[in-house]
Structure 1
Amino acid sequence: MNAHSTPRLRHKTRPAAAFAALGETGLRRIEDCIVNLLQRDEAEDVHALRVGARHLRAVLWVFGPLLPPGIAQRWKQDLRALADAAGEVRDWDVFMVETVQPALERQPGDSILHAVADTARTRRRLARETMLTRLAQYRDDPLPALHRDLAHLPLHTDDGSGSLGPFARTRVRKARKTLRRRALAARHDGLRALHRQRIAGKRLRYAIEALAPILPKQKTRRLHHKLVRRQVRLGGVVDESVARRLMSECLGVPLQEQDAGPDAA
């Protein structure tokens, strides 16, 4: 199977077999991203790795209840570590493109802005060096172990989950309920709750994309469009908070607690 092809899922597919197919495709895509990042320095490659990890984490969430506890926990930890490896570089990339560069275009002679840009580039370079070290290690281990997990899954045994169609719809409904609950909490609990809402929305979105062949097309298409719009809106709020944190780091001034982003130390 091509690394970028979509597995052919059917309503009667065993869920374990569906996870193996989706997991293998996701791992291949992540491997391609790591190769690109080790060979060149492009912001879009960092973003692609993060998106690939999120997609696979959503797949893991969908099928997690069917997996042996040891495998599910290992995948959860390893995929989180992978996403975290590229997180700081991605933050600096967004900060440069959406905050620093527009400011320099408006005030090209501002010495403080140029100092901020220099500091941001230095921090980003150091973060990238750390990221590449972690990715090279990840490629050697645990990535091969994740492939072995898929190779040894019992794909055709009756695990009590039935066929993929009903199972997938049940899991998507659960993800939607979680999103609604977090959306209500975000109305009262501030930025961190908003960040959790955003994560729940991404999980639902990527689960729908992975399971699209066996979900009701018209309903899921409308829901997917809504999730994309909401993700853009919430992403802007979170990115602004992260930008304040990074600007404070560049200027060497303390960050107000209410401005602390979800990833702030």
Structure 2
Amino acid sequence: MLTLLWKQNLWSCSYTATRKEGFPMNNRDSGQANVNASVRSVSSLDDKSVSRLTKHMSVPAAFFALADPVVGQVTARAHQLVSQGDAETLHKFRVALRQLRALWWAFAPLMDSAQAKLERDEFKRLAGVAGDTRDWDVLCALLSSARQCSAIVENLAPALAVQRELALSSTWATLKHADIETHMRSVLLGTLRQLEEHGDEPVNKFAETRVRKAEKALRTSIKQAHRHKLPDFDALHEVRIAGKKLRYLLEFFAPLLAGHHDKNIKRLMTFQTQLGNLNDVVVSEVKLRETPLSGIGENDLTQTLNWMTKEKTRRLRAAQRHIRRIKER
């Protein structure tokens, strides 16, 4: 099966002839250079890879068609981060890794369970490499959008910029010493070898089963969150995680599923945005409380934290109301 996949040229990563300075390359691939980020869209799943799925496609072929483009996205964004590290690239790098975690979860019953968990944990760790820098971006964006803090933001901005640069330096240092391209390709091919024994199994029924499993997990998390009389961030965060997983699976397996799921995906995206906004203010408040910032007046810091506390309460209540509406449907 692996030989067949290679012959069919399903490995779709495109390479440029130049290498970004400082990013380690695999010695065996010295004639190849970085993945060309311009050929990939990271904000959503690769349309071509999804559209080429068919109900009679084998499990390994379907997995490869879905995983290969996202692996390429991770590699491309990692190379970009080493040279620039802008907020959008950081975000898309993390999104692609979350998509891989969802995909590995989906196919986990057909893999070695311990190995699959290790790989999902590694995807999470890699996302965490950019997490601290991303958190500072979120904090800056949150304060910039707050009219109540507009006068204070100018005083906070220099200190926040320093912290962001420190976090980015740490991100760069880790990525420069991590051969992500080699690692990601090795993980992908290793997983394909595990799936070879399922080469004669069509993927459509398997996909439907895993989507139902993700739907059940989301319903359970919503039920748990609804039981709290007062809004509980941890419970709502579990809803957010379960919702993301289901959304990614619906996007991955759309051509294989009965019916149309566009409306479900849109509903999930809307709710994810609301829960994401809540997560932003919670993470930002913790960041601001726990990080010593030089040159910031106590009064400015107190006013900002007071606004964040009120905003967190408002967003918690809004999310809890949404949970109740879902339960009442």
Query: Which interval holds the TM-score relative to the shorter structure?
Result: 0.7 to 0.9
1:206 aligns with 2:227: no
TM-score, normalized by length of structure 1?
0.84
- For the 8 Å contact 1:11–1:214, the answer to whether it is kept is yes
Aligned to 1:126: 166
2:210 to 166, 171, 196: 171
Aligned residue runs from structure 1 range 50-89, under 5 A: 50-89=94-133
1:17 aligns with 2:61: yes
- Unaligned runs of at least 5 residues, structure 1: 260-265
Aligned to 1:228: 269
CA root-mean-square deviation: 2.8
Aligned residue runs from structure 1 range 1-265, under 5 A: 1=10, 2-3=12-13, 4=40, 5=46, 6-7=48-49, 8-99=52-143, 101-103=144-146, 110=151, 113-140=153-180, 142-150=183-191, 152-155=193-196, 157-158=197-198, 162-187=201-226, 188=228, 190-218=232-260, 220-248=261-289, 249=291, 250=293
Distance 1:138 1:193, change over 3 A: farther
| 1:195-230 Cα distance to aligned partner (Å, 9 max, x none) | 111011001111111111212342x11211110010
- For the 8 Å contact 1:16–1:63, the answer to whether it is kept is no
CA–CA separation in structure 2 for the residues paired with 1:120 and 1:65: 44
Distance apart, 1:87 and its partner CA: 1.1
Q: Which amino acid aligns with 2:64?
A: A
SS at match of 2:54: coil
TM-score, normalized by length of structure 2?
0.69
Distance apart, 1:21 and its partner CA: 2.7
CA–CA separation in structure 2 for the residues paired with 1:23 and 1:71: 17
| 1:14-36 Cα distance to aligned partner (Å, 9 max, x none) | 22332233222221110011111
SS at match of 1:9: coil
SS at match of 2:275: helix
What is the identity percentage for the equivalent residue pairs of Structure 1 and Structure 2? 29
Distance apart, 1:107 and its partner CA: 6.3
- For the 8 Å contact 1:36–1:45, the answer to whether it is kept is yes
CA–CA separation in structure 2 for the residues paired with 1:120 and 1:81: 24
CA–CA separation in structure 1 for the residues paired with 2:66 and 2:179: 19
- Unaligned runs of at least 5 residues, structure 2: 1-9, 14-39, 41-45, 313-329
CA–CA separation in structure 1 for the residues paired with 2:253 and 2:149: 48
After superposing the two structures, state which structure 1 stretch, 168-177 or 180-189, moved more.
Answer: 180-189
SS at match of 1:11: coil
SS at match of 1:174: helix
| 1:155-175 Cα distance to aligned partner (Å, 9 max, x none) | 3x3479x42111111111110
Aligned length: 252
In our comparison, the structure showing a higher alpha carbon Rg is: 2
CA–CA separation in structure 2 for the residues paired with 1:158 and 1:130: 41
Distance 1:150 1:206, change over 3 A: same
